[in-house]
Structure 1
Amino acid sequence: MAFNFHQLHIFYTVAERGSFSAAAQALHMTQPAVTMQVQSLEEHFGTRLFNRTTKRIQLSEAGHALMPFARRGIDLMRETDAAMSRFTDDLAGRLLLGASNTIGEYVLPRLLVPLGQRYPEMKVVLKIMNTTQILDEISRNQLDFGLIEAPVEHPDMTITPVMQDELKLIVPTQHTLAVQEQVTLEDVLEHSFVLREKGSGTRQVMEEELIRHHVDLSRIRTVMELGSTGAVKSAVEAGLGITVLSPSSVKHEVALGLLKVLTIEGMSFPRQFYSIQLKSTLLRMPATAFLQFLQEHSLD
């Protein structure tokens, strides 16, 4: 009897999770059903794919040889789903999505309207949380996938670039720098900054670009560090300092004439947004359609 992709997917999940019980939980199957499918695959190939002991399982030599083919098969299925999602109407149901602060509060809300126009049957449930929380909920199958602002390394996760953003200098409209559209780095460093907390993706991008231009970070006069983009915007509006943020996060304030977006001469602060999901999980059609939609749309 020929083996099928379902069996290959189960084998891969067992190998990734390190046990039949963990794979059964991830796949929403019973443990005996997972064991039976792996045994069927072993019978097909005529060799053991796992070395089993009372405490743990390990890939056999044959199992190690099969893993890259299983990985390629799963990737191909994901690519196929993404390519075919635009031709199907079967997108009903809830899409459970986690997103970090900037993406969840300022990027996705503007894209949900055109998304709903293209896929009116898709229902998006969005949770805004930090990257650690997103990873935890994906691991426990509480989210289909997540959107984060900086790459992470996790043995159970696949991370994929989906959208690009570029940070800009943000100043109050009454600030002395606001009379210009482009300012020099030396002029900028003469002023006080209000920044996101250390470790945030936004601050990391800014500091990496300054270091690339040989700027000693101690030259930055930081008068306040805040834990959210909204708090930073409010402080800048109040005239407490200037900052570097995504223009997507200040569109409303710019439209009201409260803040102005400037470019620093000779500098750019590009950053990449990423999707993250379990390696062992095949995304449902709504999720693949959603990700393809994001890749087609610019933040501009």
Structure 2
Amino acid sequence: MALNFHQLHIFHTVAEKGSFSAAAVAMHMTQPAVTMQVQTLEEYFGTKLLDRSTKKIALTESGRMLLPFARRSIELMRETESEMTRFTHKLEGRLQLGASNTIGEYVLPPLLVPFGRQHPDITISLKVMNTTQILDEIARHTLNFGLVEAPVVHPDIISESVMHDELRLIIPAGHPLEGRQTVTLEEASAYPFVLREEGSGTRQVMEDEWRAKGMDPRALQTVMELGSTGAVKSAVEAGLGLTMLSPSSVKHELALGLLHAVPIENASFKRQFYSVRLKSTLLPLAAVAFLNFLRERTLGESGEGSGTL
């Protein structure tokens, strides 16, 4: 078994956070997966690296010796990616990626224009598909990486946050809630809803926050469930109900006044978008440059400049 950089990264995160659970949250992994990777690293070195006898994780003598090397390896990997991207002034080649519905149809297209101006010799092939299909094509090496709406926990996949988004209540023009600065969950729940299908990332974020506020999303008057964001937009525009969508997916309708976005009081519908790739495969420089480009932009930004994601 070869020494694994990913395991060093996990060990370093556990040591920094002081617990397996905190490290799991930080790395978007399950706690058992974090524990297993640390145990594998301990088996590799033949020594215990962490003392689990107390409530808070403590480093053993071996762990204290390994920690600075783990930190240096992480710093070196980051420096390598950064320096190689800067050194390669002219990136070229074909970048093949997959993206889930919202990301592929609404988030990425306006960002591809400024990226293309920066790197005119990179050709991007984008496939819009669900997460399962993306992972399957990554495993078959037909995609370099994917962009999805939820973290993926899989022993062969690295899942990293690259952008964030926040849903808003979307209402049609002329609706009684039009003109309101904010609305409450109770007020919104009094109206019919048009929702994405069960299992969609957008719907999951909405339902999770509804439950977090002590309300049952199953009690909503759901008049229609649709399999695409475009279909949901059309139904809401026609006055069939309200919905929860990312403003980036209704940008043109908002500009034309066909739809309106209203924040909901005391509720946060934030979500992360994640890149997914095989642990065993190094990303091509074109892919590294594209991911760095995404991290430097605010969601929905189409021009030059940068923002904090």
Gaps of 5+ in 2: 6-39, 50-65, 301-309
Query: Residue in 2 aligned with 1:129?
Result: 129
Alignment of 1:161-200 (within 5 A): 161-200=161-200
Instruction: List aligned pairs for 1:199-214, cutoff 5 A.
Output: 199-214=199-214
Instruction: Tell me, in whole angstroms, the C-alpha distance in 1 between the residues paired with 2:136 and 2:75.
Output: 26
1:150 is aligned to 150
Moved over 4 A (4+): 60-63, 71-78
Q: How many angstroms apart in 2 are the aligned matches of 1:98 and 1:74?
A: 29
Change (3 A) 1:119 1:109: same
Counterpart of 1:95 in structure 2 is: 95
Report the RMSD for the aligned CA atoms in angstroms.
2.7
Say how many residue pairs are matched: 245
Whether contact under 8 Å (2:152, 2:276) holds in the other structure is no
1:64 is the counterpart of 2:63:
no
Query: Contact 1:78–1:288 at 8 Å: present in 2 too?
Result: no
**Distance in 2 (alpha carbons) for counterparts of 1:116 and 1:198:** 35
- 2: CA distance between counterparts of 1:253 and 1:62? 55
> Aligned equivalents of 2:82 and 2:97: distance in 1?
20
- Contact 2:170–2:243 under 8 Å retained in 1: yes
Which amino acid counterpart does residue 156 of structure 1 have in structure 2?
A: D
Match of 2:37 in 1: none
Distance (whole Å) between structure 2 residues aligned to residue 63 and residue 121 of structure 1: 45
SS at match of 1:264: coil
The 2-side partners of 1:141 and 1:116 are apart by: 24
Question: What corresponds to 2:78 in structure 1?
Answer: 79
Quick check: 1:82–1:292 contact (8 Å CA) kept in 2? no
Q: Scaled by the length of structure 2, what TM-score is found?
A: 0.73
Q: Report Cα offsets for 1:205-250 as digits up to 9, x if no partner.
A: 0011111100122321111111110110011011110000000000
Distance 2:272 2:185 in 1: 23
Counterpart Cα distance in 1 of 2:222 and 2:73? 47
Aligned to 1:288: 288
Task: Indicate if the aligned counterparts of 2:172 and 2:260 stay in contact, CA closer than 8 A.
Answer: yes
CA distance in 2, matches of 1:233, 1:116: 29
- Tell me the distance in 2 between the aligned counterparts of 1:131 and 1:83: 28
Q: Distance in 2 between matches of 1:241 and 1:105?
A: 22
Cα distance in 2 between the residues matched to 1:187 and 1:204: 20
Between structure 1 and structure 2, the one with the greater Rg is 1
Q: Calculate percent identity across the aligned residue pairs.
A: 57
Instruction: Report the CA distance between 1:268 and its aligned residue.
Output: 1.6
Q: Residue 284 of structure 1 aligns to which amino acid in structure 2?
A: P
Summarize the Cα distance change of 1:61–1:89 in structure 2 as closer, same or farther, 3 Å threshold: closer
SS at match of 1:178: coil
Distance 1:96 1:61, change over 3 A: closer
Cα distance in 1 for residues equivalent to 2:73 and 2:234? 46
* Contact 1:184–1:265 (8 Å) recurs in 2: yes
Letter in 2 for 1:133: Q
TM-score, normalised by the number of residues in structure 1: 0.75
Report the AA paired with residue 259 of structure 1.
L
